[in-house]
Amino acid sequence: MTHTAPSAPPPFGRALCAMITPFTEAGELDLPGAQLLAARLVSEGCDGLVLSGTTGESPTTTDAEKSALITAVREAVGDRVPLVSGVGTFDTRHTVELARQAEKAGADGVLVVSPYYSRPPQDALEAHFREVADASGLPLVLYDIPGRTGTRIEPETMIRLAEHPRIVAVKDCSYDFLGVQKVLGRTELAYYAGCDEHILALYAVGGAGYVSTVANVVPARLRAILDAFEAGDTPVSARLQQRATPLIELLMAAGLPGTVTVKALLNSLGLPGGSVRAPLRPAGRDTVDGLRAAYEEFIAV
């Protein structure tokens, strides 16, 4: 028995990677590395790529670098998968400019995080997202990650924003499963799990898929969780999610940002990663050894 498919296909595919932004040893943007990594991710099962998000170190890349990254990755993957570019900042005017820039560079959608630090109230937050959605012709993904921004996009705000024709999806890092299901039940928003431990749980209640940091290193293994569920084999899907848990925990919940741990593991595997930009600092040797051991154990199963 197969599970009922969503009424409409997800706007950007189901298995998306929140791609790191490779840098050179000198700390410059590594566009050839980004192209190699993007091509690998697509060949190993990613339906779409999210550039310049949290994992992509968007706070420390310039506007010109964000645009160049879209252009380079598009050249590498062609039209095989959609590209979503992070454009969210704490400044509405700047966010509008970045959305228009992403459209010109060839992005298929924009990821817009809640304005951070200033902590706008819900009416101001709603106005911010509407202004950005009106600024370009691109569909918009709301990025709800209150642990980093200090502000939740409340479910009622989500429900109102869903009325906008270009606000089509959510990357959810709210850790509010009840609130998520309220929005799922009352809107057509495509909900993507932004926390890797929620991939199966959110998909099982009607989510669209995931935007995963861990997919930078194990794209095919995470895609298999969704594939098993779609094939009607929930026990297998659950086992695959559980097997991924130790690696997810080390990459995402071990006291270091995912960008740091993922780049450390990619570098150890000889894949494009490179340095991180300050204020982030590279992982130490013990961390790298632990990540590599967890990775080897995971892929050996």
Catalytic residue set? 143, 171
Rounded Cα distance between 214 and 247, Å, is 8
Q: Which of 90, 110, 89 is nearest to 99 (CA)?
A: 110
**54, 260 contact by CB (below 8 A):** no
Length of the chain counted residue by residue: 301
Rounded Cα distance between 79 and 99, Å, is 20
* Cα 221 to Cα 123, 153, 183, 249, 300, distances in angstroms: 40, 31, 29, 16, 11
Rounded Cα distance between 145 and 17, Å, is 17
Rounded Cα distance between 244 and 226, Å, is 13
- Return phi, psi of residue 23, to 5°: -125, 155
